Structure 1
């Protein structure tokens, strides 16, 4: 239950159906974005990109950068994040099979 209070959670619904979600939390000066999810039948339509933008906009004023983790073999996710300005930083510490991606916050 701690994750319910520690994270800001955003959801996308269509006709009452949950079609996407993501969350973020501040860790020091880094806005940690997690669990970007889109219903499989709606992937490839820009919903993930939109959720990522909303997650970034939800970051509090003290955040100086963004970070997220994704599977090392998740080529579509990595491509999406790179297109959004994230840079691959290498293996995620303590998370086997995952990579860390970061992006500076501007403005």
Structure 2
């Protein structure tokens, strides 16, 4: 739950259309910051979003009925929690909502997760600052998609002192 009492809830298949709209709004800004439209989130279809809703643990935030933010996570390679699609409506960015979602998705990772991993644009300075403040570290030694960087964080420290935001 957010500080104002707004719940963070699991996404449903019915959220797919709004998630696609939010995703496009958010990744247009990323395309501008990174000087490329070669960003997978910009090229996904409604069917793609419906498909990943079945493959990722996805959470959304609604305000006055409007889907304004979302995040997703899933286990990769046995003990790594892959975090993705942290998105906040452009008119609400900078309010701390993205950081709250980042904390939430880490807190709901399954037991046994040893680390968190996420990607962001190589020129996405604002995102990189937020992730670094949250304890993530750039990992230039790990492969990243073209134009992106990978950041990781140990899960052991975080899980001990964080509860899911919905509790």
TM-score by length of 2: 0.61
* Cα distance change on mapping 1:92 and 1:98 into 2, 3 Å: farther
How far 1:93 sits from its partner (Å)?
Answer: 2.5
Partner of 1:6: helix, strand, or coil?
coil
Q: Distance in 2 between matches of 1:104 and 1:15?
A: 36
Hey, what's the Cα distance between the residues in 2 that align with 1:82 and 1:66?
13
Gaps spanning 5+ residues in structure 1: where? Answer: none
Q: Which sits farther off after the overlay, 82-91 or 9-18?
A: 82-91
TM-score under structure 1 length normalisation: 0.94
Regions of 4+ moved over 6 Å: none
Q: Which runs of 5+ in 2 are unaligned?
A: 1-49, 161-167
Does the CA-based 8 Å contact 2:144-2:150 persist in structure 1?
A: no
Name the counterpart of 1:93. Answer: 143
Structure (1 or 2) with the greater strand fraction: 1
Per the alignment, in what secondary structure is the counterpart of residue 70 of structure 1?
A: strand
Q: Distance in 1 between matches of 2:84 and 2:141?
A: 16
Deviations 1:23-54 (A, max 9, x none): 00001100000000000110111000000011
Corresponding residue of 1:30: 80
Alignment equivalent of 1:104, drawn from 154, 164, 167: 154
Number of residue pairs aligned between Structure 1 and Structure 2: 107
1:32-51 alignment to 2 at 5 Å? 32-51=82-101
Greater share of residues in helix: 2
Larger Rg: 2
